[in-house]
Structure 1
């Protein structure tokens, strides 16, 4: 028995040795090395190396819910919503590579949102092609999908190229839940810029920027081909203004209608000087912006007959060529860090002035941009005008509007988790008196006359000089890092400057509210002879809240 057991054990051992020797002769296939994601500490927290490259990437984003309550006076048309809601998602991709010329950076930001109801459904965003509206019975004018490539730019050796925030801007509503104080804030535009740094915190930037995002409509007053010209008729790509046409002897014989929707011929030029230090920062900005129009599309005699081939019985009709003009704006701002009051406290002060460049001053920021006029709330007392220029109907020259704004914003931390922002802003808008009087106060065979009695134009809101206040405050709680739960309230008031008054369309809602003339006392009356109510201001308020998580 012992002999058998020994033989078996010996055989097993021999087989094991042989098998081991054969196995040693076989080729061994090595496992592929595992390439783990490595942390990139060169550019701050959150960056990692893209496997197989020397490029560092940071992925971040935002989820936000917003709700608002806005005062309203009307339920006609799409009006009547007092509340609005928005859900927003943001995705950021920040890629950086170290090169012999410095850091090469590419940054992309996508924003998607669903917006509904009062105020949060934004006409401004639709006009600039960042959103599309619903068409349903109950959703028309109330619901909107927002889709935007908010950022997509490259930075390299002082060069910035792509879609980015305008270099002109400074405060840009930094402390506000939704930026509505008066002041420039173009967060997404196409540009090519170069920034030079001089050490000790000084830098200078020259930026060539897309003019489309700074164009506010020129003032249009008439529909081409309509001798009984209606006042301030405006539709997309159909914004006409009348100019007197003359014969060879210089006598007025008709009127030419120019489409004053603007072309994109020259970029905007922006220059910036900036200083950054431990105490804060300061910036001085300047911009030049071209205003353009098309050629005359229709020419009529004063009697209303079309002029064929540019001739009439009294000679060749010559319409003045509306020359391009250049608007401009300047802005100065300073930010003070105030840690001696509380860690994180800061104060912004900013002022801007412009001619023919209203979006650069931001006077329309609260009420609505990329439109000639708008109410500050549903069913407001009157519309406020924001147009960059009006064409003088006698000379065919543009008269540029003037606007200026100032804003102050203070951020205070009550505790590390609780903070408030206090916002105050004021601005004024002024239009050329010659163009306003000629377009509305004169009547040469129907040209530019909006009412039956020229004197009634005294009570029109069109091209009226106005002043505006936007003020508010917020309270935001951050129980954990990168989570904000807050509420903000804002008040807006627009006043007619110069002591004048306009028809209060809110109180004149019953019966015709169009001015047909003046009574013996000089008061505006409608076609039925009823005196129309007037006012010299309109105001509104809104409250909004948000829950936001950044990651």
Structure 2
């Protein structure tokens, strides 16, 4: 036994000696040091250093479910949806580096959602600016929508901001609302280049060059059968079937001096001049205040050289038609003032916003179409509406070939109140008006007999009751109750009310008058139903987690 034990120990010692000798002949590889993620405390909670760099990064996001209920005003014309659903995902990336010129920041936010049902969830506004894509199924079209948006992608450095960001014109921007029912500017995603100067004592000033594409409401174009002769000259008509892009203007006159004969102007607006926005802001412990202004170009395309009609009895041609110069561009403008008041003496976190704005040719800066639908002159977000709202920034006068700007204004108040740290409510309301230039509706109606479209011949019952280019007002109000049982989790309910009406007189009830033709309405023997306002209600529920 002792002999066996001695043999085993000797063999192990010999093996260890040989292995050690072989290992001594191999190169020694030093293990790479492991760099652990370090917390970056310079910019607040959640930031960490990207390993191997001096850049701090914060990842965050949002998950949301929403359900909306809104009964249609009428059941005709494809209306009839009562419910809407939304599932939304948001990812934020915030990267910051300290430099000799201050903080260099890049911020990215991407949103994606699946939305269905009522138009204020399935949003025509988002489709019109290519943020969303409608379903193509027979039961899905107009009811199913996939939403994808590069909501933010900007760089900030030494006072400069460049990229896709919120407009510097905006102030309140529906901060306390789920539906976004109030009037007021709320452009969360636009392309811009801006510089902000810090003036000291809480004051700052910004000048911003912004993309005009996201601030346009179409110029009024009276669609006419005669315009079909010029459809081939319009890229909009060819590619997107926007045949109302061509608006008729008079080119010739009879021997008695009566306008006769039509040419056409393409009223699709081009990207020429950027919008210029300026803002002066003051921030203090009690809150903040801002005054902002904007200049916005309105333009048309080239005149279409197709002539329809007669001049002094002869066929209207290039030879006997008066020259039609390009429609001069016009410049709309808007101003806005806002006040934010912190109200800790009521409850910690309580806040009050007050805001007012006025504009000419800048409806999207005053924001009366926020609920009804934007980027269209005649929105359809209110299902079964008894009459049409018109939001055109301008109309093209057919007699002068000049743009005539519409005016608009809005006023909004919103308050956030904390009943307790876990329970809060928002209360909000607004009033706004859209008014067309003096004589704009009359000018469009004056050649109604030639075209068979527009508001009708002035003096007739059809003209008096038609909703086309009618001045309108809008009252909005709402309230919410939100429970946050844990940090960054919201479970809430919001109810809203909207009243839309004509500023004066009454209009035809589109749900009650059959046909809507001028011949029918102008016959006094035929009964017609009229309306001067309509009421809309919506209830929305939300579950949302931010991280």
Tell me whether the two structures share a fold, i.e. TM-score over 0.5.
yes
1:521 matched to which residue of 2?
none
1:283 matched to which residue of 2?
290
Change in 2 beyond 3 A, CA 1:20/1:216: same
Q: SS state of the match for residue 373, structure 1?
A: coil
Q: SS state of the match for residue 374, structure 1?
A: coil
1:185 matched to which residue of 2?
186
For 2:71 and 2:312, locate their aligned partners in 1 and report how far apart those are by CA, in whole Å.
45
Q: 234-243 or 319-328, which moves further after superposition? A: 234-243
For 2:104 and 2:312, locate their aligned partners in 1 and report how far apart those are by CA, in whole Å.
63
For 1:525 and 1:479, locate their aligned partners in 2 and report how far apart those are by CA, in whole Å.
64
For 1:222 and 1:531, locate their aligned partners in 2 and report how far apart those are by CA, in whole Å.
27
Match of 1:547 among 537, 543, 546: 543
Q: Cα RMSD (Å) of the superposition?
A: 2.8
Write the deviation string for residues 22-56 of structure 1: whole angstroms up to 9, x where unpaired: 64564322111111111111111111111121111
Q: SS state of the match for residue 225, structure 1?
A: helix
1:105 matched to which residue of 2?
105
For 1:398 and 1:149, locate their aligned partners in 2 and report how far apart those are by CA, in whole Å.
34
Normalising by structure 2, report the TM-score. Answer: 0.91
Write the deviation string for residues 69-117 of structure 1: whole angstroms up to 9, x where unpaired: 0121333443211000010000111111111111111111110000100
1:295 Cα offset (Å): 2.3
Structure 1 segment 423-438 matched on structure 2, within 5 A: 423-438=428-443
Change in 2 beyond 3 A, CA 1:445/1:7: closer
1:377 Cα offset (Å): 2.0
Match of 1:263 among 257, 260, 270: 270
Write the deviation string for residues 374-411 of structure 1: whole angstroms up to 9, x where unpaired: 25621111011100001111111111000000000000
1:488 Cα offset (Å): 0.4
- 8 Å CA contact 1:245–1:320 kept in 2: the answer is no
1:469 Cα offset (Å): 0.3
- Answering whether residue 330 of structure 2 is matched by residue 322 of structure 1, we say no
For 1:360 and 1:212, locate their aligned partners in 2 and report how far apart those are by CA, in whole Å.
13
- Answering whether residue 517 of structure 2 is matched by residue 514 of structure 1, we say yes
For 1:121 and 1:212, locate their aligned partners in 2 and report how far apart those are by CA, in whole Å.
22
- Answering whether residue 531 of structure 2 is matched by residue 535 of structure 1, we say yes
- 8 Å CA contact 2:254–2:260 kept in 1: the answer is no
Normalising by structure 1, report the TM-score. Answer: 0.90
1:180 Cα offset (Å): 2.1
Change in 2 beyond 3 A, CA 1:69/1:12: closer
1:461 Cα offset (Å): 0.6
2:246 matched to which residue of 1?
240
1:530 Cα offset (Å): 2.0
Q: SS state of the match for residue 42, structure 1?
A: coil
For 1:345 and 1:295, locate their aligned partners in 2 and report how far apart those are by CA, in whole Å.
53
For 2:422 and 2:294, locate their aligned partners in 1 and report how far apart those are by CA, in whole Å.
39
- Answering whether residue 468 of structure 2 is matched by residue 472 of structure 1, we say no
- 8 Å CA contact 1:246–1:319 kept in 2: the answer is no
Change in 2 beyond 3 A, CA 1:184/1:69: same
Match of 1:422 among 418, 423, 427: 427
- 8 Å CA contact 1:440–1:454 kept in 2: the answer is no
Change in 2 beyond 3 A, CA 1:8/1:171: closer
- 8 Å CA contact 1:59–1:93 kept in 2: the answer is yes
For 1:497 and 1:264, locate their aligned partners in 2 and report how far apart those are by CA, in whole Å.
33
Write the deviation string for residues 343-372 of structure 1: whole angstroms up to 9, x where unpaired: 110000000000000000001111011111
1:389 matched to which residue of 2?
394
2:234 matched to which residue of 1?
none
1:432 Cα offset (Å): 1.4
Q: SS state of the match for residue 439, structure 2?
A: helix
- Answering whether residue 268 of structure 2 is matched by residue 272 of structure 1, we say no
For 2:399 and 2:452, locate their aligned partners in 1 and report how far apart those are by CA, in whole Å.
10
Q: SS state of the match for residue 433, structure 1?
A: coil
- 8 Å CA contact 1:87–1:113 kept in 2: the answer is yes
- Consecutive unaligned residues of structure 1, counting only runs of 5 or more, are 519-523
- Give the aligned length: 535
